[in-house]
Each structure stands twice: as structure tokens, then as C-alpha cells.
């Protein structure tokens, strides 16, 4: 479990991991980044009360570096990746190990079930759980078991990780997708099992959400530069939206200033159609059952979806054009979470 500024979530995340029942010994290795909210003190307190918890330092704070440090410190043949912002459902590990053996896969993952405490966080969770929000990837609500492109978190065979290499530490976001690409190219299975469920707590504020999605989009653009069509076509929808918005803005300015007029103006107005279709889609989703129960929930949903899409799409275009370089997801830095009730 890589950990950075998770004081409000870490205790519950650790409790759900330690409550897992498995046939044999287990350990929980926390890779501690340089948190500034008291997270590391809490981690040391938890470790002092349970000998199964081990701590390793992750001074770089990057997720793939922390994961590799934890995996190298591990003693057992199966690696269960967990997240400090998540909670494992009861029986998760036992079912995942059974599926790993049953289908002879190298990595097994399940469904990310986002949830929220505040109206904003619940709106983000609804977006995560909907096909409109994150493009309908299997682990965002799939119901059919089978081979998958990637796996959320993942329960992995250590021998396969040793064979294909651990997480690529030059990739700060999307590192799980890239690792699963290597696993699949090596001839192993990555498997989706919808009976596996993990609760995920999204970002708690608008600015953190926008920063997270911009960084994630930037790194996806970097992955497109590196792996081309190895990336799913669904990743290209948000940048297409941003491009349509930019073209519409330019055309609108040219029409208002009279540069475009007459039939040229009418023809150019066709560029508005994708934007209008998008606005109607978001409005229909927000007004419908997917937008929540009350008008406040529906308004938050209507605001959150474009924030996610435009931030991710703008980051993607920047990543494709210039690469990700040292882009960091700063949405966890300085996070002052409140303790769980």
C-alpha cells in the first residue's frame, strides 16, 4: 500500500486489509511517502499494534516507486495491491486468490465502487461509477467476467512480476495499465472478476479533482507517445471534446467579429454540433437517475463531469504534444483530510 497524506483514510483502509481471511500467512507493507498531515505517525501507531504491518520509506513519494519498494520487501508468492484511499470488501482476497487459480491468470482485479461523504465527493463517485464519467472500463461497473486490458489494484503472481519486471518507475500515472500491457504481451492473462469489489474514496474538492485528472490525462498522453495503438480508443474521447470546444470558440469569435459571414458562417456552425451533443448528454445524465436524487446532487453531477473530461482531455493533448516529463499529481499534497466518523 503506497501512502501519502492519507490520515483521514488510512486507519479504515488498513483495518479492511487486516480483516481479510486467507489460508496461510500474510503481511501488509506500507510504503510511506513524505506526508505532512500526520499520516506517518498514524502508520507507526498501527504497526506497533499489529506485527503483520511492515513499514518502508518511499522518499520519492511516487506510487510506482512505493509499490516496487513494498513488493521487494514482501516475502510471499502473491502480491495484493491495495490503496490507502480504498476499502476492501469482506472476502475480497480469498475470492481473488480462488479466481487467480481457477482461470490460471497472472493478475486478477475487480470493480472499483466509488463512494463519497460530502455532496461533491458523492457527485464524483457517481461520475466514476457511470459509463459517461470514465468511459465504461470494465472495472468501473462491468458485470461480465473475462480477460481484461488492465485490472484495478490487482492480485498478482510474484513470479510473473519478477519475470516481466515490476512497475515502471518512469511512469507516474497509468503505471498499472503499462504493467498489465507487459503481462499480456508476455502471454499471461489479466482477468476481471465482477464479484470482487473495492470501495474507493475520490478527491474531496474541485481543485484536487481537476489537478488529479489533468495529471492522469497528461500521463495517458505520454503512454500514447510510447505505445501508440496499444491504448484503447476510449482514451481519445476527452481530447476530442477539448479540441471541439477550442474549435467552436475560435469559430464563435470569428463569427462575432464578422470575419466569417454568410454561407461560410453557416457552414462553420457545424462545428458546434459535437459540443451541443455533449451538453445534451451531460444534461440528460444529470437530470436522470444517474445524477442523484435531489437537484443539488444533479447540479453537482452536471458540474463534475465536464471538470473531469476537460481536465483529462487538456492534459492528454499536452502529454501527446510535449510528453509528461516530471508531471506529478499534486492532488494529494497538503491534503488535510478529516478523520472517519
- How many CB atoms sit inside 10 A of residue 299's CB? 15
What span, in angstroms and rounded, lies between the C-alpha atoms of 140 and 2? Answer: 22
CB 158 within 8 A of CB 79: yes
Q: What is the pLDDT of residue 142?
A: 67
The pLDDT, as a whole number, for residue 139 is 62
Checking DSSP bridges between strand 86-88 and strand 146-147, what pairing results, if any? unpaired
134-147 per-position pLDDT tens digit: 765 656 666 789 99
In a domain, 340, yes or no: no
Q: Residue 341: inside a domain, yes or no?
A: no
Give domain status of residue 212, yes or no. Answer: no
Q: Which three cell numbers stand for residue 111?
A: 470493480
Q: Are residues 163 and 75 part of one domain?
A: yes
Same-domain status, 248 and 179: no
Tell me, yes or no, whether 337 lies in a domain. Answer: no
Q: Give the span between the Cα atoms of 184 and 137, in whole angstroms.
A: 17
Counting as low any pLDDT under 70, the low residues of the chain are: 135-142, 334-341
For cell 470494465, the residue is 138
Per-residue confidence (pLDDT) for residue 340, from 0 to 100: 32
Claim to verify: residue 183 and residue 233 sit in the same structural domain: no
Statement to judge: residues 237 and 140 lie in one domain: no
Do 177 and 63 belong to one domain? yes
Residues 186 and 290 reside in one and the same domain: no
Residue 302 falls inside a structural domain: yes
**78 lies in the same domain as 180:** yes
Dist. CA 135–CA 235, nearest whole Å: 8
174 and 237 assigned to the same domain: no
Range of the domain at 308: 229-329
Grid cell, residue 173, equals: 500515472
Beta bridge partners of 78: 157
Q: Does 338 map to a domain? A: no
When divided into structural domains, the chain yields a total of 2
Residues 145 and 237 in one domain: no
Regarding whether 242 and 195 lie in a shared domain, the answer is: no
3-state secondary structure the chain: CEECCCCCCHHHHHHHHHCCCCCCCCCEEEEECCCCCCHHHHHHHHHHHCCCEEEEECCCCCHHHHHHHHHHHCCCCEEECCCCCEEECCCHHHHHHHHHHHCCCCEEEEEEEECCCCHHHHHHHHHHHCHHHHCCCHHHCCCCCEECCCCCCCEEEHHHHHHHCCCCCCCCCCHHHHHHHHHHHCCCCEEEEEEEEEEECCCCCHHHHHHHHHHHHHHHHHHHHHHHHHCCHHHHHHHHHHHHHHHHHHHHHHHHCCCCCHHHHHHHHHHHHHHHHHHHHHHHHHHCHHHCCCHHHHHHHHHHHHHHHHHHHHHHHHHHHHCCCCCCCHHHCCCCCCCCC
Kindly state whether residues 14 and 137 are assigned to the same domain: yes
Cell numbers at residue 127, please? 461520475
**pLDDT of 228:** 84
Q: Quick check: is 87 in a domain?
A: yes
Specify whether 161 is located in the same domain as 259.
no
d(CA 46, CA 290): 38
CATH of the domain at 127: 3.90.550.10
> How confident is the model at residue 332, as a pLDDT?
75
* Residue 164 in grid coordinates: 516481466
**pTM > 0.85: yes or no:** yes
User: Is position 220 within any domain?
Assistant: no
Amino acid at each position: 500500500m503506497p501512502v501519502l497524506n492519507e490520515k483521514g483514510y488510512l486507519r479504515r483502509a488498513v483495518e479492511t486489509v487486516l480483516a481479510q481471511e486467507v489460508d496461510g500467512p500474510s503481511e501488509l507493507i506500507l510504503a510511506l511517502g513524505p506526508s505532512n498531515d500526520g499520516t506517518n505517525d498514524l502508520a507507526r501507531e498501527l504497526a506497533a499494534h499489529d506485527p503483520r504491518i511492515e513499514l518502508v520509506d518511499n522518499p520519492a513519494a511516487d506510487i510506482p516507486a512505493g509499490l516496487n519498494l513494498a513488493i521487494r520487501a514482501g516475502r510471499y508468492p502473491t502480491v495484493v495491491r491495495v490503496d490507502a484511499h480504498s476499502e476492501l470488501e469482506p472476502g475480497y482476497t480469498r475470492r481473488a486468490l480462488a479466481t487467480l487459480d481457477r482461470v490460471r491468470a497472472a493478475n486478477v482485479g475487480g470493480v472499483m465502487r466509488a463512494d463519497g461523504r460530502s455532496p461533491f465527493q458523492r457527485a464524483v463517485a457517481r461520475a466514476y461509477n457511470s459509463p459517461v464519467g470514465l468511459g465504461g472500463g470494465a472495472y468501473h461497473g462491468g458485470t461480465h467476467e473475462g480477460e481484461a486490458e488492465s485490472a484495478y489494484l490487482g492480485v498478482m503472481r510474484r513470479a510473473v512480476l519478477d519475470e516481466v519486471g515490476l512497475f515502471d518507475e518512469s511512469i507516474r500515472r497509468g503505471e498499472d495499465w503499462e504493467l498489465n500491457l507487459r503481462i499480456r504481451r508476455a502471454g499471461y492473462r489479466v482477468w476481471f472478476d465482477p464479484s470482487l469489489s473495492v470501495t474507493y474514496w475520490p478527491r474531496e474538492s474541485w481543485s484536487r479533482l481537476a489537478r488529479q485528472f489533468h495529471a492522469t490525462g497528461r500521463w495517458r498522453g505520454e503512454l500514447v507517445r510510447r505505445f501508440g495503438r496499444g491504448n484503447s480508443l476510449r482514451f481519445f474521447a476527452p481530447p476530442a471534446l477539448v479540441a471541439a470546444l477550442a474549435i467552436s470558440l475560435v469559430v464563435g469569435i470569428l463569427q462575432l467579429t464578422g470575419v466569417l459571414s454568410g454561407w461560410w458562417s453557416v457552414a462553420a456552425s457545424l462545428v458546434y454540433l459535437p459540443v451541443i451533443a455533449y451538453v445534451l448528454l451531460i444534461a440528460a445524465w444529470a437530470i436522470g437517475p444517474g445524477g442523484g436524487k435531489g437537484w443539488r446532487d444533479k447540479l453537482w453531477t452536471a458540474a463534475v463531469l465536464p471538470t473531469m473530461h476537460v481536465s483529462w482531455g487538456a492534459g492528454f493533448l499536452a502529454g501527446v504534444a510535449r510528453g509528461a516529463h516530471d508531471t506529478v499529481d499534486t492532488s494529494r499534497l497538503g491534503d488535510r483530510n478529516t478523520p472517519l466518523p
